[in-house]
């Protein structure tokens, strides 16, 4: 009898210990990360580095599988909404579609806001950038802003020459699912087209559904769009950072502990510099490759740039209202 009591006590103690451990540490979980870019693209390389670091630092408790080239979600809005309901744990997306769910993000992607990549990074790595990243989670969007990545600047590529804002008149231009970008095209006299994922732009241009789109050198090149839209006007209307997102619900449902979430956040931050370095290389490589293929690259004059700036100025009234102080602080960092 005494022996049996001892066995019961020991068993109870062991199960208490196991339970306590389970409550603070995640068990082995495998989570998905969605990415629209191909292997070898700077963001995909950074996603893989993130996955490697997380597995190492959580000692295998959290494994991340990267699904590149839009195989999981071809449209970033799809990935974002899946994360909100816990169907996908991570996605690396552009901050542009995220602004539909976290409108505060519009401010850091206003047209002609930054003088250079360095200017943007001063903002993103400073107080404003951190507040914006924290704001993603605090806004109750169900998303966690993990870190920023570089994405250069976006310019128009079309099947007809575009040199100034008025040349967009009558052209159907694909934009990301973003109200602000839709407005920007309208203000230039074009017709904005949304709902086309980045992997479907090529065929949409080929079939005449759209006359062009807008993006950076690496996307213009890696998606092959340069083959069907020969004209690239380097107006650099926006610098939209990439953002690595986590899903509050997916991490909770998978039982990832708070301490492992802290590790995940730290690992993401560590991959930022990695991506920026890869970005610089790929940006040059893509530009050289496209130029070598004889595409018609237009470097707008100051007056032509001003035509775009004047046309899109009302965006500041609409999307900058209430954020005048942040905008002024962002501008000041560029001086
Ligand atoms: C690229 C971004 C990617 C977006 C794409 C787009 O890296 O996240 O999906 O633009 O225009 O620059 O949809």
Give residue 159's Cα distance to chain centre. 26
Distance 199 CA to ligand 1 centre (A): 10
For residue 315, how far is its CA from the centre of ligand 1 (angstroms)? Answer: 21
Q: CATH number of the domain at 105, please.
A: 3.40.190.170
Give the side-chain half-sphere CA count within 13 A for 212. 24
**Rounded CA gap, 198 and 92, in Å?**
14
The whole-number pLDDT of residue 50 equals 99
Name all residues whose Cβ lies below 6 A of ligand 1.
36, 76, 93-94, 151, 176, 198, 215-216, 219, 242
Domain assignment present for residue 23? The answer is no
95 C-alpha to ligand 1 centroid (Å): 9
252 and 311 co-located in one domain: no
Predicted local confidence at residue 26, as pLDDT? 60
State whether 112 and 100 are in the same domain: yes
Is pLDDT above 60 for 14?
Answer: no
Contacts for 323 with CB less than 8 Å, ≥ 6 apart: 107
Is there a single domain that holds both residue 297 and residue 174? yes
With a CB cutoff of 8 Å and minimum separation 6, the contacts of 67 are 32, 33, 34, 35
pLDDT in tens, 234-252: 999 999 999 999 999 999 9
Alpha carbon of 152 to ligand 1 centroid (Å): 11
Q: Looking at the predicted structure, is the pLDDT value of residue 12 above 50?
A: no
Same domain, 77 and 96: yes
pLDDT at 11 over 90: no
Please identify which residue in the block is written with the tokens 């930022």.
272
- Mean pLDDT of the region 12-31: 57
48 pLDDT higher than 80: yes
Residues 98, 37: one domain? yes
User: Do 46 and 110 belong to one domain?
Assistant: yes
Mutational test site, ligand 1, from 219, 241, 244, 275, max ligand atoms within 8 Å of CB: 219
Cβ-Cβ contacts under 8 Å for 197 (sequence gap 6 or more): 36, 70, 74, 75, 76
pLDDT at 18 over 90: no
Give pTM, 2 decimals.
Answer: 0.92
Angle at 113 between CA 107 and CA 114, to 5 degrees: 120
Say yes or no to pLDDT of 273 above 90: yes
How high does pLDDT run on average in the chain?
94
Please give the distance, rounded to the nearest whole angstrom, from the Cα atom of residue 111 to the centre of ligand 1.
16
46 and 162 assigned to the same domain: no
Q: What mean pLDDT comes out for the span 39-68?
A: 98
Domain extent, residue 134, equals: 28-151+240-285
| Ligand 1 atom 5: residue of nearest CA | 198
Q: What DSSP state is assigned to residue 321? A: T
309 and 265 in a common domain: no
Q: Note whether 144 and 131 are within 8 A (CB).
A: no
Please state, for a pLDDT cut of 70, what percent of the chain lies above it: 92
Q: What is the reported pLDDT for 20? A: 42
Q: Which residues pair with 66 in a beta bridge?
A: 33
Smallest CA separation from ligand 1 atom 3, residue: 94
Q: Whose Cα sits closest to atom 4 in ligand 1?
A: 94
User: What's the gap in Å between 324 CA and the centre of ligand 1?
Assistant: 27
Look at ligand 1, atom 6, and give the residue with the nearest C-alpha.
Answer: 198
Distance 197 CA to ligand 1 centre (A): 9
Domains in the chain, number: 2
Q: What confidence score (pLDDT) does residue 335 get?
A: 83
Atom of ligand 1 nearest to the CA of 218: 12
Ligand 1 atom with minimal separation from the 152 CA: 12
Return the percentage of the chain with pLDDT > 90, whole number.
92
Are residues 270 and 248 located together in one domain of the fold? Answer: yes
| Ligand 1 nearest-atom number relative to CA 76 | 9
Main-chain phi, psi angles of 265, to 5 degrees: -65, -45
Of 260, 244, 20, 78, which Cα lies nearest the Cα of 145? 244
pLDDT at site 15 = 46
Site to substitute for ligand 1 among 70, 149, 151, 239, most atoms within 8 A of C-beta: 151
């Amino acid at each position: 009898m005494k022996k049996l009591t001892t066995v019961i006590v020991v068993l109870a103690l062991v199960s208490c210990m196991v339970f306590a451990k389970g409550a603070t540490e995640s068990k082995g979980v495998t989570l998905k990360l969605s990415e629209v870019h191909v292997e070898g693209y700077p963001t995909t390389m950074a996603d893989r580095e993130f996955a490697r670091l997380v597995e190492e630092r959580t000692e295998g408790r959290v494994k991340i599988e990267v699904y590149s080239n839009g195989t999981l979600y071809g449209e970033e809005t799809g990935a974002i909404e899946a994360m909100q309901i816990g169907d996908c744990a991570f996605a690396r997306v552009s901050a542009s579609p995220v602004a539909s769910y976290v409108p505060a993000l519009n401010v850091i992607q206003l047209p002609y806001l930054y003088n250079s990549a360095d200017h943007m990074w001063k903002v993103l790595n400073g107080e404003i950038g951190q507040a914006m990243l924290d704001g993603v989670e605090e806004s109750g969007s169900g998303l966690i802003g993990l870190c920023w990545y570089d994405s250069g600047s976006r310019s128009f590529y079309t099947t007809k020459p575009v040199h100034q804002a008025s040349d967009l008149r009558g052209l159907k231009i694909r934009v990301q699912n973003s109200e602000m970008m839709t407005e920007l095209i309208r203000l230039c006299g074009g017709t904005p087209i949304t709902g086309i994922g980045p992997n479907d732009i090529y065929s949409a241009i080929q079939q005449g559904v759209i006359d062009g789109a807008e993006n950076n050198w690496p996307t213009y090149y890696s998606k092959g769009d340069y083959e069907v839209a020969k004209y690239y006007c380097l107006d650099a209307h926006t610098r939209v950072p990439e953002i690595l997102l986590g899903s509050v619900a997916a991490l909770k449902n998978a039982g990832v502990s708070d301490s492992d979430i802290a590790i995940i956040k730290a690992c993401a931050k560590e991959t930022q510099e990695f991506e920026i370095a890869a970005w610089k290389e790929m940006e040059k490589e893509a530009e050289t490759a496209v130029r070598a293929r004889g595409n018609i690259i237009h470097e707008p004059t100051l007056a032509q740039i001003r035509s775009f700036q004047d046309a899109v100025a009302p965006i500041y009234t609409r999307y900058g209202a209430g954020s005048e102080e942040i905008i002024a602080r962002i501008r000041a960092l560029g001086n």
